[in-house]
Structure 1
Amino acid sequence: MTDPQFTSDIEAIRSIDAVPVILSMVKHITGMRFAAVARVTENNWVACAVDDSIDFGLKPGDELVLESTICHEIRQHQQPVIFGHASLHPIFSLHHTPRTYGLESYISIPIVKADGEFFGTLCAIDSVPAKLDEPAIAKTLTLFAQLIAMSLDTQTRLHAAKVELDTANELGRLREQFIAVLGHDLRTPLSAIRMSADLLETKVEDKRSLNFIAAIRNSSVRMGVLIENILDFARGRLGGGIPVQRKLVDDLQRTLRMTLEEVQVSHPQATFIHRLDVPTGVYCDALRISQLLSNLLGNAVTHGSISEPIVLNAWAENDEFVISLTNQGTPIAPHLIPLLFEPFSRSEAGQRCEGLGLGLYIASQIATAHNGSLSVTSDSESGTCFVARFPAQFKWV
């Protein structure tokens, strides 16, 4: 049974999407058959994530006797330990850990957070020898350990942000300033993750490894969306609303279609029906309108029924441009509808709590910035329908 004091550590590692990919990459790069992320404290060694092909017997939450591990020593000196053939090694042939667990090959990299806190190790083991002399192996695993540490730091910052937001005055300026600074700070580890993925891509050629790298990059894209939502929220609260740059756009229909296609690729389980009848010369910020539509589509996929099609329509009506999106599912109670467009109120509105609950708020702010509106109706017969409309100039051809 997992010690309750380590539950949060295990959950923190589990919530990092890239960890399973990292463990698979560690096994692939080293040729070893067991990889794990371990939480190592003064008294405990606890497995947080495991990729085991040798039936070593550990699963997340399991513990080893700390003194029986080399990680106990790594916690003290915070340096990597690597050997590929323990029985021939001048030091580790006599060490108790390889003898206790029947190990021949071993690599363990410390995971150290930005404030200097030692979290644990990224490690790999095997009962057979492995070729670990190539310097690129240690460098790559060190990079992986740094990525895990940066992700943990990001979680800490987000948790601190939530605590601050929960306790700050609803209208307090300090809350918005804190989020703005936080959003900028998050870009630093995100840039490191993206650059690291690009670097890894130049070092490998096989398709399987490239797929793993693509998964890391996709995770960073999702983090980027979250950061941009935070920054848009801060801009909307601190300034005069979300900024838009309106101009006459002749290819808005193409932009909306591309946005829909991107969401379709990300959510192949959902079915979409669309009718786009968009004129040329729409006076708008095309990128912001695309963001509005993407947020509405994401909300429909996440909170609607994917067994029924999601219906998208866009058209010109008199002097207005209109986007309508309808999905089926459990209708929203009337008294909860006003909460949908408020930030950080998703759980209050009875919705599942993926993300920060900023998508509909930002969509509403984009409509407002175009001197328009975003409204919603919801009932069991017609489904839930969001309608965005704003005044526009049209150049009919």
Structure 2
Amino acid sequence: MTNPEFSPDIEAIRSIDAVPVILRMVKHLTGMRFAAVARVTESHWVACAVDDSIDFGLQPGGELVLESTICHEIRQHKQPVIFGKASEHPVFSLHHTPKTYGLESYISIPIVKSNGDFFGTLCAIDSLAANVEEPAIAQTLTLFAQLIAMNLDSQRHLQATKTALDTANELGRLREQFIAVLGHDLRTPLSAIRMSADLLETKTEDKRSLKLLSAIRKSSLRMGVLIENILDFARGRLGGGIPVQRQVVDDLQQTLLLTLEEVQASHPHATLIHALDVPTGVYCDALRVSQLLSNLLGNAVTHGSTTAPIILNAYSENNDFVIALTNQGTPIPDELMPLLFEPFSRSEAGQRYEGLGLGLYIASQIASAHNGTLSVTSDLESGTRFVARFPAQFKWA
């Protein structure tokens, strides 16, 4: 039975989409057959996530006697421990842990949060020897451990921010500045993860490895979008709206087509139908309009029917530029409508949701920054239809 004290830690690790992929990559890179993320405290060693091909016997929530593990020592010195052949190692040939568990190869990387708190370890073990002492392996696993720590920090900070938004209006400016700082600090380790995936891709032709690397890249891209949404939210609240840089754009249609292709590539099973008739000379911030469309498409893919197409129309109407997106599926409940374009509010009506609920808020802010509107209608017969509208032409005074 799982110790309830550690249920939040197990759930926090379970909620990180990249963890299963990371564990598979750890096994592949090290050649070892057991990998895990462990929560390690001064009194407990608890498995939070496990990928086990040797029937070691641990499941999430399972515990080992703390003193029987090397992680107990790592918690104190916060340094990686790596050996590929315990029986010939000058230190670990005599160590009690390899003898207790019949280990020949071992690697364990500390997971340390941004405030210096030690969470636990990313580790792998095997009863067989393994070539794990190459520096590139330790460096890659260290990046994976940083990614896990970064997610844990993000969960903690975002929950704190949500609470602050609900209960302390007078602290709004400070909490949103904190979000902006958080977004900037997340970018550096995220870039390292992307670069590591790119580097590994050049060194393997194995189809399974390439698939895992693709999954890591997709997770990092999703995280990148999340960071940018957080930053846009902070900028919008701090500066009175999301900033836009408008100019006369002659190729907005091509920009929208590229956005459509990117979303289609990320969601190959979705059916996207479009009819674009975009005029030249649209006075807008093309990148922000692309972001608006991307957010609307992402919302439609996530919450719409998986069997019906998503229909996109873009056109000019009475000197306005219009983007209209329609998807089928369960209508949006009436009680959720007033909250739909508010941040962090997607679950207010008891709806299951993914992400922070910032996408529609940011889309509405982009429309507003263009002196326009974003509206929605939703019913069972016509589906859910979002319409963004703003003045298309620059009018000289």
Q: Assess same fold via TM > 0.5.
A: yes
Aligned to 2:370: 370
The answer to whether the 8 A contact 2:146-2:189 is kept is: no
Can you list the C-alpha shifts for 1:205-256, whole angstroms capped at 9, x where unaligned? 6554444333323222211211211222222222232222222222211111
- Looking at structure 1, the residues matched to 335 and 51 of structure 2 have their Cα atoms a distance apart, in angstroms, of 47
Deviation of residue 92 (structure 1)? 2.7
The answer to whether the 8 A contact 1:70-1:97 is kept is: yes
Deviation of residue 380 (structure 1)? 1.5
1:268 aligns with 2:268: yes
- Aligned pair in 2 of structure 1 residues 89, 350: CA closer, same or farther (>3 Å)? closer
Deviation of residue 350 (structure 1)? 4.6
Query: Residue 11 of structure 2 aligns to a residue in which SS?
Result: helix
- Aligned pair in 2 of structure 1 residues 303, 263: CA closer, same or farther (>3 Å)? same
1:243 aligns with 2:237: no
TM-score, with normalisation over the residues of structure 1? 0.91
Number of aligned pairs? 394
Aligned to 1:81: 81
The answer to whether the 8 A contact 1:376-1:384 is kept is: yes
Aligned to 1:359: 359
Aligned to 1:344: 344
- Looking at structure 1, the residues matched to 126 and 105 of structure 2 have their Cα atoms a distance apart, in angstroms, of 5
- Which residue identity does 1:267 align to in structure 2? H
Query: Residue 341 of structure 1 aligns to a residue in which SS?
Result: coil
Can you list the C-alpha shifts for 1:69-127, whole angstroms capped at 9, x where unaligned? 22222223333222222233343333322222221212222222222222112211111
- Looking at structure 2, the residues matched to 386 and 273 of structure 1 have their Cα atoms a distance apart, in angstroms, of 15
The answer to whether the 8 A contact 2:143-2:189 is kept is: no
- Aligned pair in 2 of structure 1 residues 272, 198: CA closer, same or farther (>3 Å)? closer
Deviation of residue 63 (structure 1)? 0.9
Can you list the C-alpha shifts for 1:274-304, whole angstroms capped at 9, x where unaligned? 2111122222211111111111111111122
Deviation of residue 7 (structure 1)? 1.2
- Aligned pair in 2 of structure 1 residues 73, 315: CA closer, same or farther (>3 Å)? same
Aligned to 1:316: 316
- Looking at structure 1, the residues matched to 86 and 171 of structure 2 have their Cα atoms a distance apart, in angstroms, of 62
Unmatched tracts of structure 1, length 5 or more:
none
- Looking at structure 2, the residues matched to 138 and 380 of structure 1 have their Cα atoms a distance apart, in angstroms, of 54
Query: Residue 312 of structure 1 aligns to a residue in which SS?
Result: strand
1:18 aligns with 2:18: yes
The answer to whether the 8 A contact 1:340-1:349 is kept is: no
- Which residue identity does 2:366 align to in structure 1? I
- Looking at structure 2, the residues matched to 172 and 137 of structure 1 have their Cα atoms a distance apart, in angstroms, of 43
Deviation of residue 171 (structure 1)? 8.9
The answer to whether the 8 A contact 2:164-2:172 is kept is: no
The answer to whether the 8 A contact 1:36-1:51 is kept is: yes
Aligned to 2:93: 93
- Which residue identity does 1:332 align to in structure 2? I
Q: Which moved more, 1:199-208 or 1:87-96?
A: 199-208
Aligned to 1:155: 155
The answer to whether the 8 A contact 1:34-1:54 is kept is: yes
Aligned to 1:3: 3
- Aligned pair in 2 of structure 1 residues 139, 178: CA closer, same or farther (>3 Å)? closer
Query: Residue 340 of structure 2 aligns to a residue in which SS?
Result: helix
Aligned to 1:327: 327
- Looking at structure 2, the residues matched to 126 and 372 of structure 1 have their Cα atoms a distance apart, in angstroms, of 61
The answer to whether the 8 A contact 2:147-2:190 is kept is: no
- Looking at structure 2, the residues matched to 336 and 118 of structure 1 have their Cα atoms a distance apart, in angstroms, of 40
Query: Residue 307 of structure 1 aligns to a residue in which SS?
Result: coil
Aligned to 1:218: 218
- Aligned pair in 2 of structure 1 residues 92, 234: CA closer, same or farther (>3 Å)? closer
Deviation of residue 159 (structure 1)? 2.4
- Looking at structure 2, the residues matched to 91 and 10 of structure 1 have their Cα atoms a distance apart, in angstroms, of 32
- Looking at structure 2, the residues matched to 167 and 103 of structure 1 have their Cα atoms a distance apart, in angstroms, of 51
- Looking at structure 1, the residues matched to 279 and 350 of structure 2 have their Cα atoms a distance apart, in angstroms, of 38
- For the aligned residue pairs, the C-alpha RMSD in angstroms reads 2.3
- Looking at structure 2, the residues matched to 172 and 92 of structure 1 have their Cα atoms a distance apart, in angstroms, of 53
Q: Which moved more, 1:104-113 or 1:384-393?
A: 104-113
Matches within 5 A, 1:275-294: 275-294=275-294
TM-score, with normalisation over the residues of structure 2? 0.91
- Looking at structure 1, the residues matched to 176 and 132 of structure 2 have their Cα atoms a distance apart, in angstroms, of 49
The answer to whether the 8 A contact 2:367-2:388 is kept is: yes
Deviation of residue 134 (structure 1)? 2.6
- Looking at structure 1, the residues matched to 108 and 172 of structure 2 have their Cα atoms a distance apart, in angstroms, of 46
- Looking at structure 1, the residues matched to 264 and 6 of structure 2 have their Cα atoms a distance apart, in angstroms, of 38
- Which residue identity does 1:307 align to in structure 2? T
Unmatched tracts of structure 2, length 5 or more:
none
Aligned to 1:31: 31
